Amino acid sequence: MKPVLVFRHVAREPLGTIDGVFRRAGVAFQYVDLYHNPPREFHPELLAGLVVLGGPMNVDEQDRFPFLAPEIDWIRQAIAAQIPLLGICLGSQLIAAALGAPVRHNPTKEIGWYEVETTPAADSDPLLRHFAARETIFQWHGDTFDLPAGAEQLARSAICEQQAFRYGRQTWALQFHLEVTPEIIDCWIDDPDGCAELSKLDYIDPAQVRRDVPRRLPPMQRLADQVFGEFAALCQQRAGG
């Protein structure tokens, strides 16, 4: 059976709830820890899908993180091969870069719980059709991107115009973190890098972000199961092909 490959950029940003969705759907998956042991070759024709996770680095930090340049090329190959492809946060920015769109700093960082508004195109999208017109989703990012040529915008927010897009039939880029669990949120807030970042942002209260978890997370996780379930079904179809 063809597996789904998962590009991970740091240990603290795993699949989260996508892990359980894949397991329940019988989708085999394999982490590739780019920060530790990046592959020398990439063969999208042997894959059921590709997930590109988040990370604290920026797309343009290729001198510090040399795996980013080949990763962008691998993403281009995956798009060309038309395999199911899902990018989350940094993953969405890397997809945008692979499609030739500029990636830059957003004027304001989104960290915590923010309302995301879908576009009319989301109503018929295989994944985002499960979204209501407005959903409150967890975010942790400072960068954004322009909508790539030929892509269809699926969601926006008041602070960040590009929240989600689809390119072709099989590629999705999500700026937000629909996949997080309580443990992941705690890990990011408590991580030294996370603490350092939050200490510079007087408009974000990490204690309030934690207090909102019991109220905000359950409906988001129900939505995540639906959205990622659709992606898993696409991977399952390809795995059996």
Distance CA 65, CA 127 (A): 31
Q: Which one of 9, 71, 89, 141 is the catalytic residue?
A: 89
Distance CA 147, CA 3 (A): 29
Q: Which one of 9, 160, 177, 197 is the catalytic residue?
A: 177
Which residues of the chain carry a pLDDT beneath 70?
Answer: 241
Residue 43 annotated as catalytic = no
Q: Which one of 13, 110, 179, 197 is the catalytic residue?
A: 179
| pLDDT given for residue 162 in this prediction | 98
Two tokens, residue 98? 């692979």
Question: Exposed, middle or buried: residue 56 (CB in 10 Å: 0-12, 13-18, 19+)?
Answer: buried
Is the CB of residue 27 less than 8 Å from the CB of residue 235? yes
Number of H helices, E strands in the chain: 7, 9
Residue 179 annotated as catalytic = yes
pTM, full prediction: 0.97
| pLDDT given for residue 240 in this prediction | 80
Half-sphere exposure of 169 (CA within 13 A, CB side): 5
Q: Which residues pair with 138 in a beta bridge?
A: 113
Residue 89 annotated as catalytic = yes
- Predicted confidence (pLDDT) per residue in 2-43, tens digit: 999 999 999 999 999 999 999 999 999 999 999 998 888 999
